[in-house]
Amino acid sequence: MKKWMLALTLAGGVIALSACNQNGSTVAESSAGDVTQEELYEAMKEKVGAQALQQLVYEKVLSEKYEVTDKELDAKVAELKEQLGENFEAALAQYGYADEEAFKETMKLGMMQEKAAMKSIKVTDKEVKEYYDNYKPEIKARHILVADEKTALEVKSKLDAGEKFEDVSNTYSTDEAAKAAGGDLGWFGPGAMDPTFEEAAYALKKDEISAPVKTSFGYHVIQLTDKKEKKSFEEMKEQMEKELKSSKLTNEKINEIMQKEIKDAKVKISDKDLKNALDPQTAPAQ
């Protein structure tokens, strides 16, 4: 998942801010004095106004030219859920989202930005073919991590004797996160794991169990549980081209394209306090 997509947090501030500037009516009363809608608007504008306005403008400008269907959005969220597993809800909370629907709103904006930026990225047929030749499909594996080779050999021996992977993992593994899932690491691709671990995992056949593999974390005994198919180049060419273009996306490129989209849409900001809201530097921290 691109950082720039997850970084657009803003949650409910956008809606609240846009709804506040109605009139001078009271939103809270106290013996010490009342709080008016205008006061609330000014306070919220000072704290989140620039980022909120930026998001609202981006949504308006991009939705005129780029469509993200519910099917596309649901597929992207499902992909993230598969990657994060049980950590999905915790990740939403970490990035400041109230719930999945709030996250989807921001994800949709990120996907529109991606579509806008992808149009300007060019790749050659040669680049796409080279990308395909070096492409490794995602694999699914589980492991048992221990501190020393002697223990790893003991683990390997028990697995070879037919003991359940989950049971051996529960007894020996020091990787508490994976241990809770029977050692399962879920689906992952190149670059996601320690290079030595990755090389050993990719070398396995489905259901095969490795000899002890030493990394900086300790000794791993790995089992490959599933592997996605690498189809022919013609079948995967469109996917490869998209992935290659996506790999070339940067925060700088996104900002550059958004400035062009804003210029083309002739956006003008009338509130002098928010005149710099669309400057690239105003974007939420990456």
pLDDT in tens, 149-161: 999 999 999 999 9
pLDDT value of position 270? 86
Query: In the predicted model, is pLDDT for residue 285 greater than 80?
Result: no
DSSP-derived secondary structure for 5-69:
HHT---TTHHHHHHHH-S-S-EEE--TT--EEHHHHHHHHHHHHHHHHHHHHHHHHHHHTT----
Q: Return phi, psi of residue 139, to 5°.
A: -125, 165
**Sign of the dihedral through C-alpha 192, 185, 141, 187:** negative
Query: In the predicted model, is pLDDT for residue 247 greater than 90?
Result: no
Query: In the predicted model, is pLDDT for residue 23 greater than 60?
Result: no
97 or 281: whose pLDDT is higher?
97
Please give the C-alpha separations between residue 74 and each of 108, 185, 187, 240, 250, in angstroms, as whole numbers: 10, 23, 19, 21, 24
Kindly list the domain boundaries of the chain, sorted by start residue: 3-123+235-282, 136-227
pLDDT value of position 24? 60
pLDDT tens digits, 146-205: 999 999 999 999 999 999 999 999 999 999 989 989 999 988 999 899 999 999 999 999
pLDDT value of position 3? 42
Query: In the predicted model, is pLDDT for residue 259 greater than 50?
Result: yes
Query: In the predicted model, is pLDDT for residue 136 greater than 90?
Result: yes
pLDDT value of position 282? 55
pLDDT tens digits, 207-241: 999 999 999 999 999 999 999 999 999 999 999 99
Return the structure tokens found at 62: 């991009």
pLDDT value of position 180? 87
pLDDT tens digits, 26-81: 888 888 888 888 888 788 888 878 888 888 889 899 988 999 999 999 998 998 88
Query: In the predicted model, is pLDDT for residue 7 greater than 50?
Result: no
CATH class for the domain made up of 136-227: alpha beta
pLDDT value of position 148? 96
